[in-house]
Amino acid sequence: MFSILIFEGCVPLRKQILLQDLTKKSVRQLQTTDTLLPIQSFKYLLKPRDMLMVNMNNITNKGEYDISSFSAAGGGNGQMMQQNIGMVGYEIDSTGCILLPVIGTVKVMGYSVVEAEKIIQKLALKYIDNVIVSVRMINYFVYVIGETNLQGKLQVSQDRITVPEAIALSGGFKEFANRAKVKLIRQNNNKTHIYYINFLDQNLLTTQDLYLLPGDVVVVDPLRSKNVKTYTIANISLFISTLSIAILLYFNLRNLTR
């Protein structure tokens, strides 16, 4: 009985190897077979309430417009979040626009960050010579909780992040993480959707589930074997130790009374 519980408290290797070809029957096959998978394209499109950091720089000569002179401007239909010289964060309003100083209203909803950057660059060149525009999203956060070595909020510095990347940034899976059934919680159109991701299956790399959207929550639940090892085996070990001490005391007292 005790040996069965010990076996239950162990995690088989097949439940630990990530991104497997599940058609392979042996671990040896998994570790010696090369695989070529199609790449799933992904492009995050900006939407209202996304926050953009717009950075514009130019080489200012005498008589040219100094970009730092309007860096503190803002407002209107784009909510300014942060102010620095030449760098201001703007929230996309309900119409899909941001209001930039000098340039005016710019519609960015429905475009990627790279596309929005090109649009702003083209408009800025009408007012400022030799301007260089860079745009990034500054409220792209995802959350990882559960059986990972680190938990919490991750800020995405690029315009995309995959689920494996989020797990890696969270320190990787713990020993008893259920890699076959990772939950992905996503808010969309005033509804909460719960998806399940199988990290043991390499086909994860070929689906749209590979990519996380802003606000996504990744939940890694424990395997049943964690409770077996943490509580059941520990309690049985304590019981056996207590029983052994009790038996030892019984025989010692018995010998003393003879």
Concatenating the DSSP letter of every residue in 131-155 gives -EEEEEES--EEEEEESBSS-EEEE
**Contact, 127 vs 103, CB < 8 A?**
yes
Look up tokens 């713990």; give the residue: 174
Yes or no: say if 173 and 181 are a contact pair by the CB < 8 Å rule.
Answer: no
CA angle, corner 245, sides to 243 and 251, nearest 5? 100
What tokens does 149 get? 């070595």
What pLDDT shows up at residue 248? 72
Domains identified in the chain and CATH numbers? 2-36+140-224 (3.10.560.10), 51-137 (3.30.1950)
How many H helices and E strands in the chain?
6, 11
Q: What is the reported pTM?
A: 0.72
Alpha-carbon gap, residue 231 to 6, rounded angstroms: 12
Amino acid letter at 213?
L
Please give the structure tokens belonging to residue 77: 């239909």
Three-class SS of 61-87: CCCCCCHHHHCCCCECCEEEEEEECCE
Q: How far apart are CA 68 and CA 56, in angstroms?
A: 9
What are the residues whose beta carbons fall under 8 Å from the beta carbon of 46, sequence distance 6 or more?
52, 92, 96, 108, 109, 110, 111, 112, 113, 116, 137
Provide φ and ψ at 226, rounded to 5°.
-65, -45
> Residue 2: which H helix or E strand, with range?
helix 2-8
Q: What is the pLDDT, as a whole number, of residue 20?
A: 76
Count of CB atoms within 10 A of residue 56's CB?
Answer: 24
Q: Which residue has the tokens 């049985």?
A: 236
pLDDT average per 10 residues of sequence, the chain (258 residues) = 46 70 64 74 93 82 48 41 51 95 93 96 88 91 96 91 95 93 92 94 88 96 69 58 68 66
Nearest to 235 by CA among 4, 51, 5: 5
Predicted local confidence at residue 88, as pLDDT: 53
